[in-house]
Structure 1
Amino acid sequence: MPDRPALAFALRVLRGQAQVDFLPSALAGLVFTIALCAAGWEYGVYGLCGTALGTATAQLLGVARDRITAGLEGFNSCLVAVGFAAFLGAGHLSTVLLAAGGCVVVTVLTGAVGTLLRPWNLPTLTLPYCLTASAMTIAAPGFTRAWHHDGGLAALARPATGPTALTWTDLWHAFFASVAQIFFMPQWYVGALFLLGIFVADRRLGALACLGSAAGIAASWLLGAPAQQIADGGMGYNAVLVTMALGGVFLAADGWSLAYAVTGAVAATILTSAAAALFAPSGGHTFTWPFVLTTLAFLVAVPAFPRLRKAGAPEPVAAGSATPPAAAA
């Protein structure tokens, strides 16, 4: 029988993995671990260990217990660890050490970003992870003990080439791979497992993830993105995150926020291509920059639109519905 502190920590780690998709669910985190292992056992190990290290670092630094319990101090470190494994090679000792250091650094950055955004009541999202992972991909080719590939990632952006017609296989692969690519995995079956984990924890968020994937596929196809980029999920994963964030997490769920979320998903799909072109010359990667920038911009704009409201905010009172003071007396 495991002792209670160990069990509590394990649950926090699993919730940290699930929080990549806004889910404070240990069960969803367990399914996510299985999904990562389906892509390669080493990714499952990196994901779990990265989340654990980030959570432990936050705990040692005295971060508020409710944040740690909900898994909010683990999801950025999870993505950092898996990202380092995917880009640097999971089998190298240097990758293990850099991933461990990255998980500690991203925990500090989470505190810094949270402090900067708190006056505007904005979430950190995956901004700390984007900063850490971007620094890694840009800097790594300059260190021979860290970079184990031939050549670097830097390249000039070029116009899109290749066929744009989507087959039925491309479509259903893209639908699931757009969810898997949040964790850098292009396999459709990995995406299906991640989607299962989302539905296990929250059916509404699962439906929004499906809608976001469809919106990203449709937008990228209509704009003429190469079929291969759509099929491997590279054009859709930011749209999935934006739709979930705006349609079911940070805004009150209604028809207006749903339309707002789909608009954000289309914007994030376009920004995905823009970010890829921007980062290409330096060897950087898109990561979830489009999701972060789109979601923050759309959340900042909410007070300007009376038909939208933040999650948890009271519903506006309709004109003429308030009881006059004399009648109340």
Structure 2
Amino acid sequence: MIKLPSFRQSTDVLLTGFGQIMLQQNRLTGLFFLAGILVNSLTLFLAAVSASIIAVVTAYSCGFNHQHIAKGYYGFNGALVGLAVFSFFPLTPLALAMLAIGSLLATLLMRLMLASKTLPPFTAPFVISTWLLLIIAQFVGLPLLEARPVANELVIYKAIINGVGQVMFQDQWLVGLLFILGLAFSSRLMVVWALVAAMLGVLLAMLLGLSQELAGAGVYGFNSVLAAMALAGSYNKSIVLPLLAAVLAFAIMQLFHVMAAPALTAPFVLAVWLVMVGKKIVDKFFHLPYVA
């Protein structure tokens, strides 16, 4: 018989899962993230919580590693699926079914990727699941939501903060500010890297003459934010590798835009994987001295 966690343990798992969206195993951070989502949209809040619960219940029911569940590994991919579904689709019974299917699929994919022990899964299960949902939506005729209007004026500080908020599909700078406050309760280093990477995304967009509207909404920054944070504090606290990952994530994001494909957080995942694999190759064959 499967032993289900207590209410307190369930709450801890839920909040920790939300913290893991930005790679933080911290309940208070997750609480701030949830509060930010709720401030912006009750629908997205309920979708994220419901999808996270489905993912965690699935993991428990399948007997997956309880330590992984407690660390939020399954909950955060489910939460992102929930946010994505109701960022792309209107609230309908079919969309609710998509949310449940996507959360379940993301959980199973996370289990497979954790078992492989090759590269960290990060948000790959969410990305793959959401791509499949978007393909299914075309076949079943589920309409997409109209794109939200964005400000015509590029305000640098708002664009930087929005780059953090867009990690969870939030385009209100006050919400991004709540996310940053949540990060501060976990790690001030992560706050610094999140802001630096978001600023890097804005500056690169300006230098390349990309859309000011999208830059202002934080679209060019959020993958760089995650990529930098994923490597910050690792590899003897190198500053080169997080910056390299942030730039790579930005470049890969542009490739998705050229292909008119939904990037989601795939650029972040691919950029970090490339840096990690690249460093292993360099260390093995070239033995270059460490550069900080």
Q: TM-score, normalised by structure 1?
A: 0.79
In the alignment, what sits opposite 1:210? 195
* Equivalent residue number for residue 193 of structure 1: 178
Following the alignment from structure 2 to structure 1, what is the Cα–Cα distance between the partners of residues 167 and 283? Answer: 32
Q: Distance in 1 between matches of 2:239 and 2:134?
A: 35
1:135 aligns with 2:116: no
Counterpart amino acid of residue 126 in structure 1:
T
Counterpart contact for 1:247–1:253, Cα < 8 Å: no
1:83 deviation in Å? 0.3
The residue aligned with 1:291 is 268
* Cα distance, 1:115 vs structure 2: 3.1
Residue type at the aligned position of 2:124: L
Show the counterpart of 1:161: none
Counterpart CA distance in 2 for 1:102 and 1:288 is 16
The one-letter code of the counterpart of 1:130 is: V
Shift of 1:4: 7.2
Q: CA deviation at 1:21?
A: 0.3
User: How many residues in Structure 1 have an aligned counterpart in Structure 2?
Assistant: 278
Task: Indicate the residue corresponding to 2:69 in structure 1.
Answer: 68
Q: Secondary structure at the match of 1:206?
A: helix
Offset at residue 53 of structure 1 (A): 1.2
Mapped partners of 2:16, 2:216: distance in 1? 29
Shift of 1:200: 1.4
In 2, Cα distance between the equivalents of 1:285 and 1:93? 23
Does residue 173 (structure 1) correspond to residue 158 (structure 2)? The answer is: yes
Question: Bigger CA drift: 205-214 or 298-307?
Answer: 298-307
2:143 match: 147
Residue type matched to 1:200 in 2? Answer: F
1:36 aligns with 2:26: no
CA displacement, residues 232-258 of structure 1 (integer Å, 9 cap, x when unaligned): 01111000000101113xx2342xx21
Q: Give, in whole Å, the separation in 1 of the partners of 2:53 and 2:265.
A: 21
Secondary structure of the 1:74 match is: helix
Partner of 1:46: 47
Q: Contact between 2:51 and 2:99, CA under 8 Å: does it hold in 1?
A: yes
Counterpart of 1:252 in structure 2 is 235
How far the C-alpha of 1:229 sits from its partner, in A, is 1.2
Gaps of 5+ in 1: 154-165, 308-315, 317-329
* Structure 2: distance between partners of 1:93 and 1:87: 14
**Whole-Å separation in 1 of the counterparts to 2:47 and 2:87:** 10
Deviation at 1:108, TM superposition (A): 0.6
In the alignment, the residues of structure 1 paired with residue 219 and residue 135 of structure 2 have an alpha-carbon distance, to the nearest angstrom, of: 19
- 1:141 Cα deviation (Å)? 2.6
Structure 2 distance, partners of 1:53, 1:234, is 28
Counterpart of 2:246? 265
Residue 88 of structure 2 contacts residue 144 of structure 2 at CA under 8 Å; is this kept in 1? no
Identity %: 24
Give RMSD over aligned pairs: 2.2
Shift of 1:149: 5.4
Q: CA deviation at 1:49?
A: 1.5
SS at match of 1:42: helix
Distance across 1 between alignment mates of 2:112 and 2:67: 18
Q: 2: CA distance between counterparts of 1:258 and 1:57?
A: 38
Q: In terms of Rg, which structure is larger?
A: 1
